[in-house]
Amino acid sequence: MQLNTIKPAAGAKHAKKRVGRGIGSGTGKTAGLGHKGQRARAGGYHKTGFEGGQMPLQRRLPKRGFVSTTRDDTAEVRLSDLNRLVADTIDILVLKEFGVVPSHALSAKVIVSGEIKRSVTLQGLLVSKGARVAVEAAGGKVEMPDSAEAKPAASGKKAARKVEAVAKAKIRAETTSVTIAEERAKAEAEAEAKGETKAKAKAKAKAEPKAAAKDDAKAKGGKPKPAASQKNKKAE
């Protein structure tokens, strides 16, 4: 055997079918699509599973249950699995090293299954309530990272502007609420001092502009001008 004599196996290579090349191409004038009809038209094919408009099989069958796409991210660890680990401090890296959890797992959770007979320290692992009690009863402890360490604070100009805006909004809300409360208390105190009800106070406030207009008209010697309406005031 020489390099210049090596050839592919018989039947491994064959010429590509050249459709639409006329009568003598081997596929005829219709290029293997037959005569007329939907399957002979450009863009006339339907998707896989189409049943002529009838409800397709994949929609007739009922749905069963729910399968989470992240179900493999968190691996479960039994209490009995912790007994065969040599390390006293156990985290996700130790579990992967000893083959207790798969290498693609992002986190692990210790569940109540089996019995733990040694003192261990769990770091950064999810632990159920029963498993925590069992670990602490065996003389071990559970150390979880602080929320601040688990999720680092955002940094940068955008985060700084957001913090500043939140602080200003809080100050503005507190100032506004205090001012409104003071004005209400002052108005109520004045009304109580004068012995007037709220209705009388509103009527008096409406009558004051009309009385002032009459006094001005008398002083000038003419007819009093009507008080400006609320719509005219807004327009001005």
What residue segments make up the domains of the chain, in order of their start?
Answer: 74-145, 153-197
Q: Where are the alpha helices (DSSP H) in the chain?
A: 57-60, 79-83, 92-97, 129-137, 147-150, 157-194, 198-220, 230-235
The tokens for 120 are 């261990």
Give whole-number Cα distances, 25 to 13, 42, 147, in Å.
19, 20, 72
Residues in contact with 137: Cβ distance below 8 Å, sequence separation at least 6, in sequence order? none
Q: What is the CATH number of domain 74-145?
A: 3.100.10.10
Grouping H, G, I as helix, E, B as strand and the rest as coil, residue 77 is: strand
From first to last of its 236 residues, the chain has per-residue pLDDT tens of 899 999 999 999 988 888 888 888 888 889 888 899 888 898 888 888 999 899 999 999 998 888 888 888 999 999 999 988 888 899 999 999 999 999 999 999 999 988 998 899 999 999 999 999 999 999 999 987 654 344 556 677 888 888 888 888 888 888 877 777 777 778 777 777 776 655 665 565 555 555 555 666 566 565 555 555 555 555 55
H/E segment holding residue 107: strand 107-111
Cα–Cα distance between 226 and 141 in angstroms, integer? 84
Name residue 108's beta-bridge partners: 75
127 in Cβ contact with 142 (< 8 Å): yes
Give whole-number Cα distances, 207 to 6, 217, 236, in Å.
113, 16, 21
How many CA atoms lie less than 13 Å away from 171 in the CB half-sphere? 6
Name residue 51's beta-bridge partners: 54
Residue 100: CB atoms within 10 A of its CB come to 20
Taking the model in full, what pTM does it have?
0.40
